[in-house]
Structure 1
Amino acid sequence: MSTEAPVIVFDGVCVLCSRWVDFVLKHDRAGRFRLAAMQGTHGRALLHVHGLSPEDPASLLLVQDGRGHTDTAAIIRILGQLGGPWPAAAAAVRLLPRVCRDPAYRWIARHRYRLFGRRASCLLPDDSQAWRFLD
């Protein structure tokens, strides 16, 4: 098992993705996850290594124990490692067949800018959370 912290690669200019990062920062009180915007050096490299286009990834990426996880599998893995009610929420989502949940996830991912908006620049962490970001 790897001793490296899991890394969530996200779209730093996507409003929905930035809200997801805010959610993870709020609920990952143990600080187990690191974050990398796909627009940064680390994020681009991880996307490339795990077969996602750094120019237009169709999913967020969770890299944990050397493996890349995308789509709802990544969301479920992240939720399952947070505190509070989130592991139960992950178990509930897991009950839906992946063949149903992943196409819905991908549709939202493809239309994320139109549905939720786009920031002019990448999300910048506040000083108390900056250590969690790789770039």
Structure 2
Amino acid sequence: MRNLEQECQPVLLFDGVCNLCNSSVKFILKHEKNQNLKFAAIQSEAGEKLLTHYGRDPNQTNSVILISDNQEYTASDAVLKLTQYLKFPYSSGKILMVVPKTIRDFFYKMVAHNRYNWFGKRESCMIPTPQLRKRFLE
């Protein structure tokens, strides 16, 4: 069996039924530097396998998760780490790492907790277009 980490690096795990999360994935696809980032909905088989591999319960995951360089980044760390994959000026978002993690995560958790109320929820995960399908793990 192939090494799951090597096979899926780097990968962004996101809530596939969250409108904010889906819009964020579309934003990343539009503004990325290159196409080496993969995506997996937390609700997908690949997402569940990766979460389990990293010791997380897929049913209790309330954060975007970026797996990069054999490390797991969650909450505001994941969002700011993602900026390295984006074109300028979005890549400059990494400067926010100077803000203490407790403050960053406070605001992240507020949005995460209210995301369905503020942005809505889908009945099922988004289906990527045929040309993007290779970027999404199933």
Q: Of Structure 1 and Structure 2, which has the larger fraction of its residues in helix?
A: 2
Q: 1:43-81: per-residue Cα shift (whole Å, max 9, x none)? A: 011122223321131211101122111011111111122
The 3-state SS of whatever aligns with 2:110 is helix
Instruction: Tell me which residue corresponds to 1:37.
Output: 41
Q: 37-46 or 80-89, which moves further after superposition?
A: 80-89
From the superposition, tell whether residues 3 and 49 of structure 1 become closer, same or farther in structure 2 (CA, over 3 Å).
closer
State the 1:9 CA deviation: 0.4
Instruction: Tell me which residue corresponds to 2:18.
Output: 14
Whether the 8 Å contact between 1:18 and 1:123 is mirrored in structure 2 is yes
Question: 5+ unaligned residues in a row in structure 1: which ranges?
Answer: none
The 3-state SS of whatever aligns with 1:72 is helix
Instruction: Tell me which residue corresponds to 1:129.
Output: 132
Q: Quick check: 1:102 aligned with 2:105?
A: yes
CA distance in 2: counterparts of 1:20 and 1:97, whole angstroms: 23
In the TM superposition, what are the counterparts of 1:1-135 in structure 2 within 5 Å?
5-91=9-95, 93-135=96-138
Whether the 8 Å contact between 1:4 and 1:65 is mirrored in structure 2 is no
Whether the 8 Å contact between 2:11 and 2:40 is mirrored in structure 1 is yes
Q: Which amino acid letter does the alignment assign opposite residue 9 of structure 1?
A: L
Please report the RMSD computed on the Cα atoms of aligned residues, expressed in angstroms.
1.6
The 3-state SS of whatever aligns with 2:12 is strand
Question: 5+ unaligned residues in a row in structure 2: which ranges?
Answer: 1-5
Q: Which amino acid letter does the alignment assign opposite residue 126 of structure 1?
A: T
CA distance in 2: counterparts of 1:40 and 1:52, whole angstroms: 14
**TM-score, normalized by length of structure 1?**
0.90
Identity of aligned residues (%): 34
State the 1:24 CA deviation: 1.0
The 3-state SS of whatever aligns with 1:55 is helix
Q: 96-105 or 82-91, which moves further after superposition?
A: 82-91
Whether the 8 Å contact between 2:9 and 2:70 is mirrored in structure 1 is no
